[in-house]
Amino acid sequence: MFKLHQLNTAKSKRYQELQFLTIESINEYDSEKAHAHDAIILNIKNALEAEESINLIRQQTSVSDYLKPIFISKESLNRQLRTRSYDGFTDAVNLQAIAQTTRKINERISKVYRTKTINDYKQQQLFKVLAFTFTRNIHLDPYTSRYSKLGYSYPFLDALIEEEHSQEILEIVELGLREELFSGKINDKIHLCTSCSSSYINIRETCPKCHSIDITEKDLIHHFRCAHIAPMEDFQKEDNLTCPKCDHKLRHIGIDYDKPSVMYNCNTCHHEFQEPEMKSYCIDCHKEDEIHHLVEKKIYEFSLTPKGDEVVKYGLEKLINSNEEIPKDVLSCSFFKLMLQQEIERATNHDITSFHLKMNINKNQVPQMTESTEVGFKKEIISIIKGYLLSSDLITAVSAYEYQILLTNTDIHKANELTGLITNNLNKLITDNLSEQNETIWSELKPIQQGLKMA
């Protein structure tokens, strides 16, 4: 009785401090429910459906959703899955082994930058791959796959990219290489169709004159004694080889004669030639091409570089755009000071209320940053703050950890509300990246009046 009851409700399984969610069909996946669990166990008997479920999870947008550890229930699948984007098998009874893996992965997931939506599709996919590689602590090794148009695929990318778009896999990994987020070790070379990027290409020898594939290959024979060279059929006389020029019998290859090369005969136009034209024929789109037109691509195995590691922890936009300057409408400190002084004069002489808002970020609460990640961090903070400002408001960044804002023509009520909003949102951005949730922002709002100093 007890067992039955457990079976009916055992969608969530507890093991020590961990919660496992068991899913028995793709329809049962619910990102909100999955969110509250540490890992997912797929107990789906149909391999295709299991695969679709994995793809669905890996294609989610939130870090903790798409990186979720996934295990396959051992009994559920009797044939190999086409994807390699899961984290292992489990017998669903003994959870000790997958608990260990789950903890390791989740520990690393907590370090991944909670990225906002990256507008650039390729950059977004790249970030996801980097994050997967980082959280699994693996090399991204290519594997041969008949289901990928490239003939190769990669774990995680196989779930992210639809099979018919598999050339995107190359574009994403090439972007990672170019930005030095991956280092690659060459593993193979493939040749792709110029029209559809498929690697399923048939190579054939054709007649250089009429391009027919109906050609016959013939051995040439070179008779040492008289130096006569002719196709083998000219030497064939009953069961022996006899030279048509000097009438001697040919006995031993290497002693009497050799076969220096081959000749081709076109059965369509009867052209005779020695060098056939090599042509490719694409199995997928039927395009015929000369083989030197095919696009050669290198297949690499990848590992994260220290820069790639940093991108996972602090965000991709920051590094890729880190050479860009802070937006121009952010004032320099000295100019801000000048404007502040002017506003003090204005507020004293006229009946207007403006406010000076100073925001400090507790440096000790933020992961240590390099100079380039600091620039990106600053940009992100500024863009959040600016989202709440009017075009007449002014802002300066004293450092990556201190921002000063001049709120013009507002009242204390609105200024207070704005301060609260900005503080909350900055707090959210920063604490999203932290395991502990502490107060990280300190703000000070002062009315603009005589005697106010910037410091």
- Judged by the rule CB under 5 A, the positions of this chain that interact with Zn ion are 193, 195-196, 198, 207, 209-210, 212, 223, 226, 228, 243, 245-246, 266, 268-269, 271, 282, 284-285, 287
* 268/305 with CB nearer Zn ion: 268
Main-chain phi, psi angles of 348, to 5 degrees:
-75, -40
180: left (phi over 0), alpha (psi -120 to 50) or beta: left
* 161/405 with CB nearer Zn ion: 161
Place of tokens 């049962």: 28
CB of 245 to Zn ion, least distance (A): 5
CB of 144 to Zn ion, least distance (A): 19
3-state secondary structure of 178: helix
CB 159 within 8 A of CB 67: no
List all residues 6 or more positions away from 437 whose beta carbon is below 8 Å from its beta carbon. 431
What crossing angle do the helices spanning 371-386 and 412-431 adopt, rounded to 10°? Answer: 140
Dist CA 317 CA 296 (whole Å): 30
**Quick one: which of 313, 310, 298, 367 has its CA closest to 179?**
310
* 168/284 with CB nearer Zn ion: 284
What are the distances in angstroms from CA 76 to CA 43, 44, 102, 133?
Answer: 6, 6, 20, 27
* 24/171 with CB nearer Zn ion: 171
**DSSP strand E in 387-436: where?**
394-399, 402-407
CB of 198 to Zn ion, least distance (A): 5
* 108/228 with CB nearer Zn ion: 228
CB of 264 to Zn ion, least distance (A): 9
**Quick one: which of 302, 281, 122 has its CA closest to 191?**
281
CB of 122 to Zn ion, least distance (A): 22
CB of 208 to Zn ion, least distance (A): 8
Please give the angle made by the CA atoms of 278, 282 and 286, to the nearest 5 degrees: 115
Dist CA 174 CA 302 (whole Å): 11
CB of 160 to Zn ion, least distance (A): 23
Dist CA 385 CA 427 (whole Å): 12
- Which amino acid makes up residue 371? E
* 212/348 with CB nearer Zn ion: 212
* 191/287 with CB nearer Zn ion: 287
* 76/198 with CB nearer Zn ion: 198
CB of 177 to Zn ion, least distance (A): 25
Q: What is the distance between the terminal CA atoms of the chain, rounded to a whole angstrom?
A: 72
* 268/433 with CB nearer Zn ion: 268
CB of 272 to Zn ion, least distance (A): 10
